[in-house]
Each structure stands twice: as C-alpha cells, then as structure tokens.
Amino acid sequence: MKLRVRLLSATMVFIVVATLLGLMLVHSVRASEIRQVDQQLETFLPASRIAGNAKPPTQPSSGSTPPVFNANHYSALYLAIITNGTRRVLSTPLGTKHAAPDLPTKNTTSLRHATIVTVRSTTGSLSWRAIRVTLPHAHSEILVAVPLNQVNATMRFLQLSLLLTGVIILAVLTATGIWITRLGLRPIAEVTEVAEAIVEGDRTRRVAGGQQGTEAGKLARAFNMMLDEQQDLESHLRQFVADASHELRTPVSVILGITELWRRGELRSGVQRDEAIHRIGASGAQMGRLVEDLLLLARLDEGRPLDNVQVDLGRVIRDVVADVVTTDPTRNVVLDAPSSAIVKGDEASLRQVAVNLVSNAIRHTSNDARVTVRVFERGDNVVLEVKDSGPGMTPEDAARAFDRFWQADPSRSRAGAGLGLAIVRGIVDAHQGAVTFASDVATGTRVSVSFPRRGSDRRALSVTNRDSADLPSGALDRN
C-alpha cells in the first residue's frame, strides 16, 4: 500500500472517530441537561399537587379555607389543572410567549413512579418536558412542564461549536496532508525516479535538495552523497586498474620482447642468453613486488584481522636502519630510539611501515642528505618519525602523497610504483594509529606515525652509519 493511500486512510479513520466522539458528546450533554430538568420537575411535583388543591387568590372563601396558590413559587414551571377537558393555567414560565405544552399520552398516579416525557407545544416549535398527574380526590388532573428552550439553546451552541471545530480540524488535516505530501512524499518519489534513471544508465542524475533540517532533505543529501561516493569509488577503481596496468606493462613488455627474440633465434651467444634471463628475472621480481603490494592493500581494504601481539618497535627500527646502513654505508642515517618501545600489533606489518618510510627517505634524497629516524613516546602513544633534509614537496604534491600509484616527480623517482605511503597509511589505520605528513621544498620531508603505547624504556640509543657494525644485520625489503 502506498504511503499516500495510508495517509488518506488514516485521515478518514480519524474523521470517522472524531464524528462519533462528537455525536456521543452531544448525546451525553443533552441527556445530562434533560436529567437536570427532570430532577427539577420531580422536585416541584409534590408541591404541584398541593397547588392543584389550592384556591386561587381571587376566589371568595367559604367554609374551610384551602391553601392559597402563589404563582411566584412556580415561575419556572408551566402548571395547569385539567378538569373535564378544560385546562386552567396556574403558572406560565417567562420567555415562552404564552406557549402551552401538549398533554402527555400517559398520566401518573404515583409520585414514586412518575413518567416524564418530551412533548411539543400546542403552538410554535418549543418542546417541553412534561408530566400529567391525576388528582384522585379532586377528579381532575394537573399538568406540570418545563420548557426546553435553554436546553435547546445549549445544544445548538454545542453543535455549532463542534461543527466549527470539525471544519477547522479538517482544514488543518488537509493543509498538513498537502504539506506532508509536498515535503515528504514528493522527495521520496523523486529519489525513486532518480534511482530508476541511474539503473537505466544515467549516472549524472541527482536528487534536488529538500528543505534544510527535514527528513526528506536529509534523505536527498544522503542519497546524493551515496551516489557521489559510489561514482568516486568507481573512478578510483578505474584509475587504480589503469595505474596497475601501466606499472605491469613495462615488465610484461620486457618479458614478451625477450621471449620473441628467443623464439626467432636471435639470442645466439651465451652472454646474450644470460643477459636475457637476468632481465626476465628482474622484470618478474618487479611484477612480484607489485602484486604483493596490491594484495596487501586489498587485505587492508577488506579489514582482515592482523596479529595482535606485543612488538618492540625500537628493535624493529634498529633492524631496519642496520639493513640500510649495511647496504649503503655512504648514507648519513641517524637513529634515535629507546632500547625498548612496546606496542601491540602485527610485527611484519610494523616492519613494513618502517621499511617503507626509511626506503622512501633514502630513495628520494641525494647521497649527502641527512636522514633522521626517531622513536619516542608522546603521551599514550609511541611515535616513529622519519625526517630527511633533501628536497621536499610543494603543498599540492604533499596533499597527494598517500595516493596510490602517485609519484611527485618522475625524474626524482629511482624505483617503486608509488604504493609505499599508501601501504603505510593502510597498516597504521589497521592498528588504530595516526600518520602525519609534512613537506617543504626548502627544509625536506617529515613523516610521523603513532601507535598506542604498551610500555617502554626511556633509555635512548643514538646510532649513525659509523656505528653500523654494532647493529644486528638483516635483509632490507626494498619496497
């Protein structure tokens, strides 16, 4: 069932219920008013029987004197004595314009079981609550009645008030329905229309922004944000595939070219064949490193769990720096790290972070540049900082430093596919850490990563390349 039909059904149910409640209210108020009039009649009924036996004030007295009738006591009642079909009016209420009630069809002989009925007037449209009482000793009847003009006026006022209230409520419901339809249903219908257009292939369609602060407006903005993010994701995916294909094209071309040369028999000498095999191996290793990096990024993007053990980050960084100074003893690398800096995480991934940061600093600086590697505590975190004094980046290039397959200046890049810092960010994020990147053309580049601290020893160890013999050796992963 559509939401519009549901709203209309709910409105109709509300109108029916409100109408029934109004009718019940009118009936209850009228019954209460009638009950009060009947109580008034029952109160004056004993006195009215006395009035029926009373002598009017103008009648001459003879013998025993009956009670004298005083009409002022019955000014709110219609009181008349009926003898042989002749009605003698004793009292007429004010404001009735001499109207008289019809005789009730039933008479009452006992005051305990009085029958009070509603009758019409002999003339006019006034209605009465009346009772017809038999006077057994006087051989006559007495008619007592109360006009219902006040009750009818009250009921007309109540009915008019309920009618005006119903009209106002109906107008408010109509305006509210139009408002809800315009602000709520129309944007939803527009979202549906845009979604159908996108399914048909028009991915440029967007939902017009609704009013600020409304659910429809929030829905439109969330829907547009979802479409924009999806489009950006698809764009990044296409760019990622294009960049990966570009990086793989060179080694694949080398392998195919050498294979074609061998097939045509142009690799005749042993030296040529050895050189071809060497180039094939180098190209295969390059492809292998790229595939491993891509797989690592894919695992990080999927959020696969990493090992969660205690790792001495100080020992890891000392191993990485020892590999660097052993491989290239001419580089000026300074290490400042505590003897122990315990963090919790995956040791292989943390080692990958350290290798990538130090390798980038070495790769993108000249031989006379100074590279400083520090491990220190900052609050509840352990920070790994790699800083170089080589040529830094412009603000535009620094903003894209963590993009995949991106390199600031191809002429400065000696090797790599531009995935090092992207892998660093992915690993740091997986460890609930933080990474900051600052670069300036004049002063160089500084990269800092922080991990939650699990305890450390503040005794510092400063090492340069001249002390590399005292460091443990290891194999440096030249990512």
Model confidence pLDDT, tens digit, residues 265-307 = 877 788 888 888 888 888 888 777 777 767 776 776 666 667 7
pLDDT at residue 435 in the model: 85
Residues 171 and 76 in one domain: yes
Spatial distance between the Cα atoms of 390 and 393, rounded to a whole number of angstroms: 10
Within a domain: 207: no
Residue at which a domain ends, from 202, 234, 259: 202
User: Are residues 220 and 318 both part of a single domain?
Assistant: no
Residues 346-357: tens digit of each pLDDT: 888 888 888 888
Within-domain flag for 63: no
Least confident of 234-248, 354-368, 372-386: 234-248
Single residue among 269, 302, 335 that ends a domain in this structure = 302
Residue 210 lies in a domain: no
Give me the pLDDT at residue 194, please.
84
Residue 470: pLDDT above 50? Answer: no
Query: What DSSP element (H or E) covers 299?
Result: helix 270-302
pLDDT at 24: 93
**What's the number of domains the chain is made of?**
3
Mean pLDDT of the 419-441 span: 81
Q: Give the residue-averaged pLDDT of 69-74.
A: 53
Residue 324: its pLDDT value, please?
A: 83
Q: Who wins on pLDDT, 44 or 50?
A: 44
Average pLDDT, the chain: 76
The pairing of strands 332-345 and 370-378 is parallel
Q: What is the pLDDT of residue 325?
A: 83
Same-domain check for residues 269 and 365:
no
Residue 103 confidence (pLDDT): 87
From 268, 302, 336, the end of a domain falls on 302
Residue 208 lies in a domain: no
Closest CA to 162 of 10, 28, 9, 11: 28
Quickly tell me which residue has 């005083």 as its tokens. Answer: 70
Helical segments of 99-147, H only: none
Domain that residue 99 falls in: 1-57+68-202
